[in-house]
Structures are given as C-alpha cells and as structure tokens.
Amino acid sequence: MRLVNNLLMGVDTAAQYKYAYNNAFSIRWKVKLLVIGCGQCGGRIADEFARLNRKARVQRGIDIITGTFAANTDIADLSGLSFITPDYHHRILIGGQKTSGHGLGKINELGAEIAREDSDKVIEAIRMSPQFAETDAFLLIAGAAGGTGSGAIPVLTQHLKERYIQKPLYNLIVLPFKYEEATEERTIYNVATCLKSSYLVADAIFLVDNQRYVRKDFSLKNNIVKINSLVVEPFYNLLCAGEEKKPKFIGAKILDAGDIIQTLVGWTVIGYGRSRTPLIRLPFGEQHDFRDKATETQKGIHAMNEAISELSLQCNPTDAKRALYLVTASPQETNMEQIKELADSLKRIATEAIIRSGDYPRGKGSLDVTIVLSELTNVSKVMDYFTKTIDYISAIKKRWEGIEYEHKGIEDAFRDIPSLL
C-alpha cells in the first residue's frame, strides 16, 4: 500500500509544479478542449462531446471544443459515429495493416503497440485541424476493459505530452459493467494496466463507472446511448461558463478556466444535479420574503446532494484534496447567501479539499450544480482492480510454471503489474 501511495504522491507533486510553472507564465487561462476518443467506447463518448459542442453553438453561440477525433482499429466502429466529421482526418484508422480494420479482441498490449506505431498519424491529423491553435487542454477518452482504447490511451497521452508539454492532458476512463468483470478474465487485467499507465502520464483522470449508470428500465443498447449522454452532461455548463462573452451571462463569482485547471489533479470524479421546482413569480414590485430565500437555498442543497449521489464513480468525498462546484441558474434564483450555504455544505463532506466555486447566470426554471472532486487519495475501486490483477497474474504464473507462487504483499506485487508504456 505504501509503495502505491508513494508512487501516486510522486506523480501528483510533479503535476503541481507543472501547474505552478504554467500559471506563472500565462496571461489568461481558457479551457477549450480538444477531444480524442480511443476505441469504440472512447469514440462514442467523443461523439457525444461533438454533439455537446454543436448544442453550445446553437443554444449559446459559443464553441467549447476545438476539435473532436476518434482513433480506432475498427472501421465499422468509426463508421457508426454521428457527430464527428466523417473524414479520415477526424475518424482515424490505426493499425490497419495489423488488424485489417477489425479491432483487437481485448488485447490491450496490442492496442498500446499500434498506438506507438501510429501516434504520428493521430498527432498529424489533430495538428492539421483548423482550430488546433486554440486548444488549451487535451481530453483523451477510452473504455479500460477493451483492447484498442485501453492500450492506446496511455500511449497517445504520453506522446501528446512530450509534444505539447505546456498543455494539460486529461483522460476520461470508463470502467466496465459488473457482469463484464465476472464473465471475461482479461477485463480486470486490462483495467488495471490501463489505469496504472494512464496515471503515470495524464495530469488528471476522470473515472466513470458504467455500473453507476445502469437503470433497470432501459435495455442495454438504450442504456449505452443514455449512459454516454449522462457521462458528458456535467461538462456542458463547466465548459460554457468560461467561454461566455456577454456580461449578463458572466457570474458574480467567476469560476474561470484557471480554477478548473488548478482543480484537476490525479484521480477525479464529476457529478451533476438539478433542481427543477420553478420559483414562485411575484407580481411586479413585490419582494420575495425570507421564506422564498430559504426555498432557493434548499433548491441549491437539493441539486448539490443529487450531484454528489450521481458522481461518475462512487467515492468518499473526504478523500478529495481539491473540489469545485458551479451553480447554473437564472440570476433571480441564485444569491450569494445560497452560494455560501453550498460551500459550507460541501466543506462538511469534502473536509480535506481546497474548494473553488462559481455561479453561471444561465437557464430558466432550474438550478443546476456541477461538482468535481479531484486529487482523490484513496479510490477503493481502483485499488481493488490492482489487487485482483496481482492475484490474476500470480494465478497465471502458477498455471504456467506449475509451481507455488509465493504470496507477496501488495507493495511488492504492485511492481508486477505490467505497464503499457
């Protein structure tokens, strides 16, 4: 355990120095993302980000993404996307010669190898895109349990980091459904090696647990579509708030891109809650009394509780060293008292976190709260994958060598988890 924590702490400290350095030389932080989906899961969620950008353009007249790309070994998966531009610069086939365009069947070492060979192809494609120069940060996305995305995400992250050292590099990694862990031996091994490798190179990793999104009333296919839209939803207001130009849409307490970038370090989760109860409209000239104010505060607390219970991965908020929240509502439905009340409420559960916050005067009739918990020091689900993988490796060794594999503590055994880098 100590070794794991030491390793993780070392990486985080390096990331903090990097931010301090970046901050010192930057005039203004913006956070326009360039999004790359790796493999089928990554490609589909990247496609959802492309839809989100279209929505921001139509509804709010702003761009929140500089380009959306999908890299995959599977032609059929690339063809099935809807919003990513359908040309070979945006839907990038990798490993074509090795796989003949048919995927990797869950061998993530092969995914890593192909990404190493074809990383120039991906980087060249994104560099040529018209808005590339406006990119402030990269977001790479993949499902950890597959072959292509799971292997490619750490390798592409590493190559991009080497080329664009000053830009933050984030990963969004999707953890498998429970049934996949039970039925497919490779699943847990892929997840552990992907998580370990990505952790070593990405500035922050959004963890998304598929199992959290399962709703009993959807069929699996509908679930995937619904899950993908729920995964990207919390990013919408967060990315829009920083891009607003009109004063009436700029909050009293601005959560700027610098706050977002300063918050994102290491293991990270995101959540989103909404309170829809419309505020009672009073005839012109009449004042809301103190009871209305109390109702507004309750709405805020309700939305925040929902955001916490809908976090992308179940975790303990006391393990977060950094947190932020954004309240999005019409100006009539927010007030400073409410923002302060929300800060107190979050501080009560995220006791160790530096909390950043802001308001975003947009929307009518609902009050939304977006929450990010970051620099999580103990993510039991991740540790569980590491532990199970060590057991899996020792079982395989036993099978291969036919000898008793001596039991090791987790500190020693963590070294035995192969890295994809």
Residues near ligand GTP (CB under 6 A):
39-41, 44, 73-74, 103-106, 143, 145-150, 174, 176-177, 180, 210, 224, 227-228
> From the CB of 115, what's the least distance to ligand GTP, in Å?
11
Q: Residue 117 corresponds to which tokens in the numbers above? A: 């060979």
Q: How far apart are CA 203 and CA 312, in angstroms?
A: 18
Q: How far is Cα of residue 264 from the mean position of the Cα atoms in its chain?
A: 10
By a kind-dependent CB cut-off of 5 to 8 A, residue 228 interacts, out of Mg ion, ligand GTP, none, with: ligand GTP
By a kind-dependent CB cut-off of 5 to 8 A, residue 303 interacts, out of Mg ion, ligand GTP, none, with: none
By a kind-dependent CB cut-off of 5 to 8 A, residue 41 interacts, out of Mg ion, ligand GTP, none, with: ligand GTP
> From the CB of 185, what's the least distance to ligand GTP, in Å?
14
DSSP β-bridge partners for residue 360: 328
> From the CB of 231, what's the least distance to ligand GTP, in Å?
6
In the chain, what is the straight-line distance between the N-terminal and C-terminal CA atoms, in Å? Answer: 22
By a kind-dependent CB cut-off of 5 to 8 A, residue 224 interacts, out of ligand GTP, Mg ion, none, with: ligand GTP
Q: What is the number of helices (H) and of strands (E) in the chain?
A: 15, 10
> From the CB of 143, what's the least distance to ligand GTP, in Å?
2
Interactions with Mg ion, residue window 61-100 (CB under 5 A): 74
> From the CB of 106, what's the least distance to Mg ion, in Å?
9
Q: How far apart are CA 270 and CA 21, in angstroms?
A: 26
In sequence order, what are the residues at sequence separation of 6 or more whose Cβ sits closer than 8 angstroms to the Cβ of residue 274? 303, 306, 366, 367, 368, 369
DSSP β-bridge partners for residue 273: 369
Closer to ligand GTP by Cβ: residue 63 or 233 = 233
Interactions with Mg ion, residue window 21-40 (CB under 5 A): 40
> From the CB of 352, what's the least distance to ligand GTP, in Å?
30
By a kind-dependent CB cut-off of 5 to 8 A, residue 177 interacts, out of ligand GTP, Mg ion, none, with: ligand GTP
In sequence order, what are the residues at sequence separation of 6 or more whose Cβ sits closer than 8 angstroms to the Cβ of residue 411? 1, 2, 3, 4
Burial category of 248 from C-beta neighbours within 10 Å (exposed 0-12, middle 13-18, buried 19 and up): exposed
Q: Residue 156 corresponds to which tokens in the numbers above? A: 């592409």
Give, in degrees to the nearest 5, the angle at Cα 155 between 97 and 229.
90
> From the CB of 176, what's the least distance to ligand GTP, in Å?
3
Closer to ligand GTP by Cβ: residue 61 or 105 = 105
Closer to Mg ion by Cβ: residue 40 or 197 = 40
Query: Which residue from 43, 67, 103, 242 is in contact with Mg ion, where contact means CB under 5 A?
Result: 103
378 CB-side CA count, 13 A: 8
Closer to Mg ion by Cβ: residue 103 or 154 = 103
For Mg ion, the binding residues (CB under 5 A) are 40, 74, 103
